[in-house]
C-alpha cells in the first residue's frame, strides 16, 4: 500500500482527497490557505485534519526514506534476502525497521564481536543448532582452542561462543518485539524517594508501583520531573522468569541437547545484560513520548481557546496590573486600545492606601468615561479585586470588572518588541496596557508573546520544546487566519502569522502603510517589498480592508473569486453597498427564488455550475454576503464580568457558583470562582457519563456552573463539581 492509499485508509477519506491535498502541500501552499480556499480539492477537510495529515505524511515519507537506506546498507553487505526485503517493506513504524536492521548494524567492539574475531562463530552455530544429544560441551569446544587467537582453554572457547549467541538473541527482531510487548503488557513502574525524610510535592510517589499499561500521562510527566530533580528513583520491573520463558520459546529447539542448560543460562544473560536496559529505556521513552504528545495537544487546545476568546469591543478600559511593594500599575485605554493615561496606586500591603486609590480611580473613571476595569490575575490580584469591588459599590458606578490572565505579560513588557512599540513607557506601564488590550482584543495582543509563555497546560517546561513550539505556532497561525486581520491596523506580530507572510514581509507591509498611507485595495499588496504573486495568493483572502475601494476587500472572499462573486451579486440584484452596510440577510432566499428551489444547496449548486466555480467556494461567498467578515470568536463563551467579590471565608460546602475555566489538564479543570485560588473540578466530577478527557466537556474560557464539595482552608484548596 503506497503512502496516498495508506493516508486515505487512516483518515477514512477518498484517495482523490489525499492526492489533491498532498499535491497542494508539495506546491508550498499553507494549511490555512488550503483549508479555506481549496475546499473543492480537499473535499472540505478542516485545518485540524489537514495539520494531522501533513504530520502523518512527513512521518510516512521519513519511514520510506529510512527503509530505502536500510535496504541499501544491508545489500552492500551482501546479506539482503528476499524475505528480509519483504519484512522491511511491510514495516509500518520506524522502530520495526530499526529492529530488522539491528543485526546488520556496525557496532563498537563487543564481547560477541571479539569472540567472532577469535574464530568462535562456527562453535556458536553448533551450539545454537542443538543437534548433539550425546557428549560434553567442553569436548566440542576443545576443537576451537587456538592460542594464536588468544583462546587458550575450552572454557574460553565455550564462553566466547555463548557471547555470540547472547548477541544473536538480543538482535533478533522477533524476540525483541515479543519482549517489548510483554514488558509493556505486564511491566510495572516503581518509584521511591531519594530521601524518604524530605517533604516534597512528590510525596505520593515515594513508594508507588503502577502498571506500565495503565499509568496516566500526567503521572508519567510528574515522575519524570521528580527523577530529574533527583527527588525520585524510578525503575521498570517485570517478571524475569516469564520473559526467559518467552525467549526460550524462540531459542530452545531441543531440550535433550547437551547445550540445553548453557542456552538457558545464555538466555538469562542476553536479557539481563543486553536487552533489559534498552527495553526499559524504550518503555520509558514510549511513555514519555505518549505523555508529551498528549500534553502538547492539551496545551495547543487550551491556547486556541484563549486566543479565540471574544474581544470586548467599543469599551474604554481601566487596566490594573496588581502588586504589593511597588504598587499596582494602572493604564487607561480608549475604544481603539490607545493609551490615554497611566499611573500607580497603592491599595495593598505595605501601604494599604485605600483612600488614595479610590480618589485616583474616581478621577480616571470620570475623566475618561471608563466602561470596564480589568485586573491581572497574578500577585495581589484578589486583594486589589476586593478594593475595586468595594469602590464600585460605594460610588454606585454602572461599571463591572473582570480578571484577565496575565501569563506572559511580563515577558512581553520587557521584550524588544514592546520596547520598539512603546519606547517612552517603562516596563510596568507596558504590562498594564497589555493586560487591558488582552481584554479588548485577546488575539491581537497575545500573538506578541511566545505561545509557550501563555502557560495554559501541564508540565510545559518538561516536554519536548521543539514539538511544543511547532504545535503552538500552528495553533496561532490557524487562529489568526480563521479570524483574519485588518490590513490597515494590524501589528507586524499579527501580520507575521498570516498565511504566506513572515516577519520580514510583515514589517515591510507596515513600512509601506506608514509611507504611502492606508491600503485602499488588496492589489496594492503586490507593491510591498518581497511580497510576490505566490505570497499574495496565500495571504490576500485573510487581509481585510474595512473601507477600501472594492467592498469585497472587506470580506474573506479571495481576489481569485471576485469575478464570480460580482457575477453572483449582479444576477441576484445585490448591491455592493450591501456589504458595507453589514450584508444581505436575504441572499439565500434570492438564490432559492432565482433557481426555483426550496433547497438552498441545490440552488447554490445550480448557480455554481452557471458561474463555473465549486459549490463549496460559492457557499462560502454566500455566507460572506450574509454577514461580511464574520468573526468566529462570536461563537465562544462571553467574558464573565463581576461587580462583587467573595473571600475564602465566604465559601461553604454545597454553595453554587458561576466561574470561568482557566486551565484544562489531564485530571480535570481549574475554575476561577472569584477567590484567590482557582478551584479544581476533577474529571470524575464533570459528568455523570464516562468521559475520556476533561477536554470532551470543557475548554479554557468556558463559563461553568459549579458546586463546592470540599474546602481545605489550610492549603486554600477548593474542590468543585459540575454535577449539579
Q: What is the DSSP secondary-structure string of 196-234?
A: TTS--TTGGGTEEEEETTT--HHHHHHHHHHHHTTSEEE
Rounded Cα distance between 664 and 671, Å, is 9
Mean pLDDT over 37-49 rounds to 96
Q: Is the pLDDT of residue 465 over 80?
A: yes
CB 686, CB 665: distance < 8 Å:
no
Domain at 317-440, CATH class: alpha beta
* Topology of domain 3-104, CATH: Arc Repressor Mutant, subunit A (1.10.10)
pLDDT score of 600: 95
188: helix, strand or coil: strand
Instruction: Count CB atoms within 10 A of the CB of residue 59.
Output: 12
pLDDT score of 421: 84
H or E element at residue 559: none
Beta strands 679-682 and 703-712 are unpaired
Rounded Cα distance between 53 and 14, Å, is 13
Under the banding of pLDDT at 50, 70 and 90, the label for residue 645 is: low
Instruction: Report whether the peptide linkage leading into residue 409 is cis, meaning its omega lies within 30 degrees of zero.
Output: no
Least confident of 166-170, 198-202, 378-382: 378-382
Contacts 24+ apart (CB under 8 A), 596-602: none
> What is the reported pTM?
0.86
Q: Is the pLDDT of residue 1 over 70?
A: no
pLDDT score of 455: 65
Rounded Cα distance between 205 and 211, Å, is 14
Least confident of 247-261, 634-648, 681-695: 634-648
What is the DSSP secondary-structure string of 489-526?
T--HHHHTTSTT--HHHHHHHHHHHHHH-S---GGGGG
Burial zone of 709 (CB within 10 Å; 0-12 exposed, 13-18 middle, 19+ buried)? middle
Q: Is the pLDDT of residue 418 over 90?
A: no
Name the residue with higher pLDDT: 640 or 660: 660
What is the b/e burial string over 374-393, where b = at least 16 CB atoms within 10 angstroms of the residue's CB? bbbbbebbbbbbbbbbebbe
Q: In this structure, what is the dihedral angle of CA atoms 121, 123, 128, 130, given to the nearest 10 degrees? A: 160
Query: What CATH number was assigned to the domain covering residues 648-721?
Result: 2.40.50.140
Q: What is the DSSP letter of 151?
A: B
pLDDT score of 422: 86
pLDDT score of 452: 81
Question: 481-501: per-residue pLDDT in tens?
Answer: 999 999 999 999 999 999 999
Under the banding of pLDDT at 50, 70 and 90, the label for residue 277 is: very high
pLDDT score of 646: 66
Least confident of 200-204, 461-465, 554-558, 693-697: 461-465
Question: 294-346: per-residue pLDDT in tens?
Answer: 999 988 998 898 899 999 999 999 999 999 999 999 999 999 999 999 999 99
CB 308, CB 459: distance < 8 Å:
no
Under the banding of pLDDT at 50, 70 and 90, the label for residue 27 is: very high
Residue pointed to by grid coordinates 440584484 = 573
Question: 82-130: per-residue pLDDT in tens?
Answer: 999 999 999 999 999 999 999 999 888 999 999 999 999 999 999 999 9
708: helix, strand or coil: strand
What rounded mean pLDDT belongs to the chain? 93
Q: Is the pLDDT of residue 643 over 80?
A: no
The three grid cell numbers given for residue 675, joined into one nine-digit string: 477567590
pLDDT score of 520: 97
Question: 229-267: per-residue pLDDT in tens?
Answer: 999 999 999 999 999 999 999 999 999 999 999 999 999
What is the b/e burial string over 568-590, where b = at least 16 CB atoms within 10 angstroms of the residue's CB? bbeebebeeebbeeebbeebbeb
Q: What is the DSSP letter of 529?
A: T
Q: Which CATH architecture has domain 492-634?
A: Orthogonal Bundle (1.10)
Beta strands 717-721 and 679-682 are parallel
Rounded Cα distance between 723 and 656, Å, is 11
What is the b/e burial string over 131-159, where b = at least 16 CB atoms within 10 angstroms of the residue's CB? ebeeeebeebbeebeeeeeebeebebbbb
Task: Choose among 444, 414, 440: nearest CA to 427.
Answer: 414
Burial zone of 690 (CB within 10 Å; 0-12 exposed, 13-18 middle, 19+ buried)? exposed
N- to C-terminal Cα separation, the chain: 51
pLDDT score of 430: 93
Instruction: Count CB atoms within 10 A of the CB of residue 676.
Output: 14
Instruction: Count CB atoms within 10 A of the CB of residue 130.
Output: 18
Burial zone of 340 (CB within 10 Å; 0-12 exposed, 13-18 middle, 19+ buried)? middle
Q: Is the pLDDT of residue 637 over 90?
A: no
pLDDT score of 639: 79
Q: What is the DSSP letter of 12?
A: T
Under the banding of pLDDT at 50, 70 and 90, the label for residue 442 is: very high
Give CATH superfamily name and number for 111-295.
Tex N-terminal region-like (1.10.3500.10)
Mean pLDDT over 412-426 rounds to 87
* Residue 274 Cα distances to 164, 178, 181, 266, angstroms: 12, 15, 17, 11
CA 103 to the chain's CA centroid: 37
Q: Is the pLDDT of residue 574 over 70?
A: yes
The three grid cell numbers given for residue 557, joined into one nine-digit string: 472572499
List, in sequence order, every beta strand (DSSP E) within 451-544.
Answer: 485-486, 543-544
Rounded Cα distance between 407 and 378, Å, is 8
What are the structural domain ranges in the chain?
Answer: 3-104, 111-295, 317-440, 492-634, 648-721
Instruction: Count CB atoms within 10 A of the CB of residue 321.
Output: 32
Under the banding of pLDDT at 50, 70 and 90, the label for residue 410 is: confident
Amino acid at each position: 500500500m503506497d503512502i496516498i492509499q495508506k493516508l486515505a485508509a487512516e483518515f477514512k477519506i477518498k484517495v482523490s482527497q489525499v492526492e489533491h491535498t498532498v499535491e497542494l502541500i508539495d506546491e508550498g501552499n499553507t494549511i490555512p490557505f488550503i483549508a479555506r480556499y481549496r475546499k473543492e480539492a480537499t473535499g472540505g477537510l478542516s485545518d485540524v485534519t489537514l495539520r494531522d495529515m501533513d504530520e502523518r505524511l512527513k512521518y510516512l515519507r521519513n519511514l520510506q526514506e529510512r527503509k530505502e537506506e536500510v535496504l541499501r546498507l544491508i545489500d552492500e553487505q551482501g546479506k539482503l534476502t528476499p524475505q528480509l526485503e519483504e519484512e522491511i517493506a511491510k514495516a509500518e513504524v520506524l522502530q520495526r525497521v530499526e529492529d530488522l536492521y539491528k543485526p546488520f548494524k556496525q557496532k563498537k567492539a563487543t564481547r560477541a564481536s571479539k569472540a567472532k574475531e577469535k574464530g568462535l562463530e562456527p562453535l556458536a552455530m553448533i551450539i545454537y543448532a542443538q543437534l548433539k544429544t550425546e557428549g560434553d560441551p567442553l569436548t566440542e569446544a576443545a576443537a576451537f582452542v587456538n592460542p594464536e587467537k588468544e583462546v587458550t582453554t575450552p572454557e574460553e572457547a565455550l564462553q566466547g561462543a555463548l557471547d555470540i549467541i547472547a548477541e544473536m538473541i538480543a538482535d533478533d527482531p522477533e524476540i525483541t518485539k515479543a519482549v517489548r510487548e510483554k514488558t509493556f503488557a505486564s511491566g510495572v513502574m516503581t518509584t521511591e524517594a531519594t530521601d524518604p525524610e524530605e517533604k516534597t510535592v512528590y510525596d505520593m510517589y515515594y513508594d508507588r508501583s503502577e502498571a506500565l499499561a495503565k499509568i496516566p500521562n500526567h503521572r508519567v510527566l510528574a515522575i519524570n520531573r521528580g527523577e530529574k530533580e533527583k527527588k525520585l528513583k524510578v525503575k521498570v520491573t517485570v517478571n524475569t522468569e516469564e520473559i526467559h520463558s518467552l525467549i526460550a520459546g524462540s531459542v530452545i529447539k531441543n531440550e535433550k541437547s547437551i547445550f540445553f542448560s548453557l542456552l538457558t543460562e545464555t538466555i538469562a544473560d542476553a536479557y539481563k545484560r543486553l536487552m533489559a536496559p534498552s527495553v526499559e529505556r524504550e518503555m520509558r521513552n514510549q511513555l514519555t513520548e505518549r505523555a508529551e504528545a498528549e500534553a502538547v495537544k492539551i496545551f495547543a487546545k487550551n491556547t486556541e481557546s484563549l486566543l479565540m476568546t471574544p474581544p470586548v469591543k467599543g469599551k474604554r478600559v481601566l487596566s490594573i496590573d496588581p502588586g504589593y511593594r511597588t504598587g499596582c500599575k494602572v493604564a487607561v485605554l480608549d475604544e481603539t486600545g490607545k493609551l490615554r493615561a497611566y499611573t500607580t496606586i497603592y491599595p495593598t500591603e505595605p501601604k494599604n492606601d485605600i483612600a488614595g486609590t479610590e480618589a485616583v480611580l474616581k478621577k480616571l473613571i470620570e475623566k475618561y468615561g471608563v466602561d470596564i476595569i480589568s485586573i491581572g490575575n497574578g500577585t495581589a490580584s484578589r486583594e486589589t479585586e476586593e478594593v475595586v469591588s468595594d469602590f464600585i459599590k460605594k460610588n454606585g458606578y454602572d461599571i463591572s470588572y473582570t480578571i484577565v490572565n496575565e501569563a506572559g505579560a511580563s515577558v512581553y513588557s520587557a521584550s524588544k518588541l514592546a520596547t520598539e512599540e512603546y519606547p517612552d513607557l517603562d516596563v510596568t506601564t507596558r504590562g498594564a496596557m497589555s493586560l487591558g488590550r488582552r481584554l479588548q482584543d485577546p488575539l491581537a495582543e497575545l500573538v506578541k508573546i511566545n505561545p509557550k509563555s501563555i502557560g495554559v497546560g501541564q508540565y510545559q517546561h518538561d516536554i519536548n520544546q521543539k514539538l511544543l513550539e511547532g504545535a503552538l505556532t500552528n495553533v496561532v497561525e490557524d487562529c489568526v487566519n480563521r479570524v483574519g486581520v485588518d490590513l490597515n491596523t494590524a501589528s507586524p506580530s499579527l501580520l507575521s502569522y498570516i498565511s504566506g507572510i513572515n516577519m520580514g514581509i510583515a514589517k515591510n507591509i507596515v513600512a509601506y502603510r506608514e509611507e504611502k498611507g492606508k491600503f485602499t485595495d488588496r492589489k496594492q499588496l503586490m507593491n510591498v517589498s518581497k511580497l510576490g504573486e505566490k505570497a499574495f495568493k496565500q495571504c490576500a483572502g485573510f487581509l481585510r480592508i474595512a473601507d477600501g475601494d472594492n467592498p469585497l476587500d472587506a470580506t474573506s472572499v479571495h481576489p481569485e473569486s471576485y469575478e464570480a462573486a460580482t457575477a453572483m451579486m449582479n444576477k441576484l440584484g445585490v448591491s455592493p453597498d450591501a456589504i458595507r452596510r453589514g450584508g444581505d440577510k436575504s441572499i439565500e432566499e434570492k438564490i432559492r427564488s432565482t433557481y426555483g428551489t426550496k433547497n438552498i444547496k441545490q440552488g447554490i449548486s445550480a448557480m455554481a455550475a452557471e458561474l463555473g466555480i465549486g459549490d463549496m467556494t460559492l457557499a462560502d461567498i454566500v455566507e460572506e454576503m450574509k454577514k461580511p467578515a464574520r468573526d468566529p470568536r462570536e461563537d465562544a463563551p462571553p467574558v464573565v464580568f463581576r461587580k462583587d467579590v467573595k473571600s475564602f471565608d465566604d465559601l461553604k460546602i454545597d454553595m453554587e457558583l458561576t466561574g470561568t475555566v482557566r486551565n484544562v489538564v489531564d485530571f480535570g479543570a481549574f475554575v476561577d470562582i472569584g477567590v484567590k485560588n482557582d478551584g479544581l473540578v476533577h474529571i470524575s466530577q464533570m459528568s455523570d457519563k464516562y468521559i475520556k478527557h476533561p477536554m470532551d466537556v470543557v475548554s479554557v474560557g468556558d463559563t461553568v456552573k459549579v458546586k463546592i464539595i470540599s474546602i481545605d482552608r489550610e492549603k486554600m484548596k477548593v474542590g468543585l463539581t459540575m454535577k449539579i
